Structure 1
Amino acid sequence: MKRALVLVVAVMLGGCSLFKGKPEPVRRPVAVVKPAAPGLQDPNGTPIERVPFRTGVSSATVEKMAKEQGCTGGQGAGLMTEAGPVEVYRMRCEDGAMRGKVFTARCELRQCKRM
């Protein structure tokens, strides 16, 4: 009789763990943009971040504008902001009159102007 009572108590206590509810969702870390290279900082001490190259709807238009200003070469015009009605593009000038400079343009509803 004692064995049966011990067995019933053990089953009841073991079954209680089934009613804890939903398990906690696994929290994963958010991707963080890493600095371009260790030690690179702007004059204020803020780390310089490298933005991945992405093309956008108006990349070709901005590349033509840059070429007219003497900026050529590189990967082309990369989208710096989220895609939407207003976008900012950036292009590094590796050849031409603007060598070593950056050409930036703002496009609103595919109408682009140099910044």
Structure 2
Amino acid sequence: MTRRALVLVVAVMLGGCSLFKSRPEPVRRPVPVAVKPAVPGLQDPNGTPIERVPFRTGVSSATVEKMAKEHGCLGGQGAGLMTEAGPVEVYRMRCESGAMQGKVLTARCELRQCVKM
């Protein structure tokens, strides 16, 4: 085999190796997160927007509602979970009638043992 033929065979073999390479992964870019605009009119005295938290029940909602009733707080919707579910949770209940009418009762529950805050 001549030198020229040998170079040609090596070039073909090296060129054929590119056929077996996998395709490059597409570039992954971060997805922008949509920020919910604050509801106009809900601001604290300093002008900071107030976020409304949706009502969620938790494992200790009934316990907090019973404790609220003992303190004279009766609410329509009941005790809502304000934090993520876990060993320590914070509940909030609006008092719509009773001795605490118009106030908010907040309770902290640790491993289902609740204390008024």
Quick check: TM above 0.5? Answer: yes
Instruction: Kindly indicate whether residue 100 of structure 2 is the aligned counterpart of residue 98 of structure 1.
Output: yes
Amino acid at match of 1:30: V
Structure 1 residue 33, shift from structure 2 partner: 5.0
Q: Distance in 2 between matches of 1:78 and 1:31?
A: 26
Query: What secondary structure is seen at the aligned counterpart in 1 of 2:68?
Result: helix
Instruction: Kindly indicate whether residue 110 of structure 2 is the aligned counterpart of residue 108 of structure 1.
Output: yes
Q: Distance in 2 between matches of 1:33 and 1:68?
A: 38
**Number of the residue aligned with 2:73:** 71
Taking the TM superposition and a 5 Å limit, the aligned residue runs for 1:1-115 are 21-25=24-28, 27-30=30-33, 32-35=35-38, 37-115=39-117
Q: Distance in 2 between matches of 1:83 and 1:31?
A: 24
Scaled by the length of structure 1, what TM-score is found? 0.73
Q: Distance in 1 between matches of 2:34 and 2:113?
A: 33
Q: CA RMSD in A?
A: 1.9
Per-residue CA deviations over 1:1-56 (Å, capped at 9, x if unaligned) read: xxxxxxxxxxxxxxxxxx76222346444364543x30321112210110011111
Q: Distance in 2 between matches of 1:21 and 1:107?
A: 52
Q: Distance in 2 between matches of 1:103 and 1:95?
A: 12
Query: What secondary structure is seen at the aligned counterpart in 1 of 2:41?
Result: coil
Aligned residues between the structures: 96
Any runs of at least 4 consecutive aligned residues in structure 1 with deviations exceeding 6 A, and if so which?
A: none
Unaligned runs of 5+ in 2: 1-21
Greater C-alpha Rg: 2
Query: What secondary structure is seen at the aligned counterpart in 2 of 1:38?
Result: coil
Unaligned runs of 5+ in 1: 1-18
Q: Distance in 2 between matches of 1:21 and 1:60?
A: 56
